[in-house]
Amino acid sequence: MKRIAAIALLLLPLAAAAQISNDDVHKYDHRNNSQVRNVISIPGFDGYQTLKCDFHIHTAFSDGSVWPDIRVQEAWQEGLDAIAMTDHIEYRPHKNIVVADHNESYNIAKKAADRLGFILIKGTEITRSKPLGHLNAIFITDANKLDVEDPLKAIDIAREQGGYIIWNHPGWPDDKSTFYPIHDELVKAGKIDAYEAYNYMESYPLTFDWHADYGIAPMANTDIHGTVAGDYAYGDRWLRPMTLVFAREKSLEGIREALDARRTLAFFQGTLVGSEEYLFKLVKASLKVRRLSSGNMEVTNISDIAYEMVHDGRLYVFPAGKTALVPDFSGELVVRNCYTGHNKCLHFTFEK
Ligand SMILES: [Zn+2]
Ligand SMILES: [Zn+2]
């Protein structure tokens, strides 16, 4: 994308000159920001690449305000690698105006995704009150078949289609992240694969243990209804929520394999949630160390995620994309923006 941006910049003075020398209608195509994509740098490890994904997206085909192709455009521009279209089955306030079946938002978005070479996953949101709550079924083949009375039947139909089930916003709308018996039943039957530790602007700290306790994958998704740019400001700590997926390859199949193997971390507001193993490996891959004869070390953070570590009661910050000069630590540091569980932060040691 750097090349396209450079060409656009070169065109700028030429176009300005052309405008003066003729009377034709002038088109400012070169100012079109839709051709420029953000680069989010988060390294991989163990041969996996880190894919930035959002598995929870709404459009005008349920209760969102945006047409499906714009969802793809937003995600591509913001530097994501994949999104799942998950319009509600049961809640469609515009259904008398937007008359379509449950697959149509995906079908429209797919055309935009194919143009950009962007990965799009077919899904839907099964929408019930608590205790069951809302569940996304992604990697399904036909959302229409999930339009049935019994939500447990809808889950079974999704699974027959090869679907992957996410328990959405466990702390919404009652501000309690209760793990009900129905969830225990579904997890034990292998019918819940993942859960949202972060949804939209919320985090659910009680759920930070669930990846370890229940073997389900932690996620951070937007559940976006309006525009992403309207809801999330940009900067180090305000990227949209995203699920980091450690995949063998950047493809639909690669993402599915990684999700089945639970190789994810939830990322929002500069904070990561997930297993000790993946957090440790990600931090290690991000921080490049050069030891100095002075007894200090230079630590270069090659990722777009800043890390905050505490050692001997002192805070050390490793800003994104910068080099920090720090003491040559012996022993463990506590990474206070990486959660391995509820109130549990990652312990990190720099390799000698
Ligand atoms: Zn929901
Ligand atoms: Zn939703």
Q: Give residue-wise pLDDT tens across range 3-47.
A: 555 555 555 555 555 556 677 887 777 677 778 899 999 999 999
**What is the structure's pLDDT at 1?**
44
Dist. CA 71–CA 133, nearest whole Å: 25
Q: How far is the CA of 37 from the centre of ligand 1 (A)?
A: 29
Question: Mean pLDDT for the chain?
Answer: 93
Average pLDDT over residues 258-263: 98
The three-point CA angle 65-70-76 to 5° equals: 135
- Mean pLDDT computed over 315-334: 96
Residue 14: per-residue pLDDT: 53
Q: How far apart are the CA of 118 and the centre of ligand 2, in A?
A: 21
CB 77 within 8 A of CB 46: no
Q: Which ligand is nearest to the CA of 58?
A: 2
Please report which confidence band the pLDDT of residue 233 belongs to, taking 50, 70 and 90 as the band edges: confident
Domains of the chain: 1-36 (no CATH), 44-274 (3.20.20.140), 285-348 (no CATH)
Give distance in angstroms: CA of 168 to centre of ligand 1.
Answer: 6
d(CA 334, CA 318): 13
The answer for residues whose C-beta is within 8 angstroms of residue 251's C-beta and 6 or more apart is 119
Instruction: Tell how far the Cα of 199 is from the centroid of ligand 1, in angstroms.
Output: 9
CB 334 within 8 A of CB 347: yes
- Please compute the mean of the pLDDT values over residues 216-244 and round it to a whole number: 87
Which ligand minimizes its atom distance to the CA of 132?
1
What is the pTM (predicted TM-score) of this model?
Answer: 0.92
- The mean pLDDT of 147-167, rounded to a whole number, is 98
Pairing of strands 119-127, 344-348: unpaired
Ligand 1 geometric centre to CA of 84 (Å): 14
169-176: average pLDDT: 97
Start-to-end C-alpha separation, the chain: 38
Percent of the chain with pLDDT over 90: 85
Under 8 Å CB-to-CB from 239, ≥6 apart: which residues?
40, 78, 232, 267, 268, 304
Residue 75 clears pLDDT 70, i.e. is over it: yes
Give DSSP secondary structure letters for 128-193. Answer: --TTT-EEEEES-S-GGGG--S-HHHHHHHHHHTT-EEEE--TTTTTS-----HHHHHHHHTT---
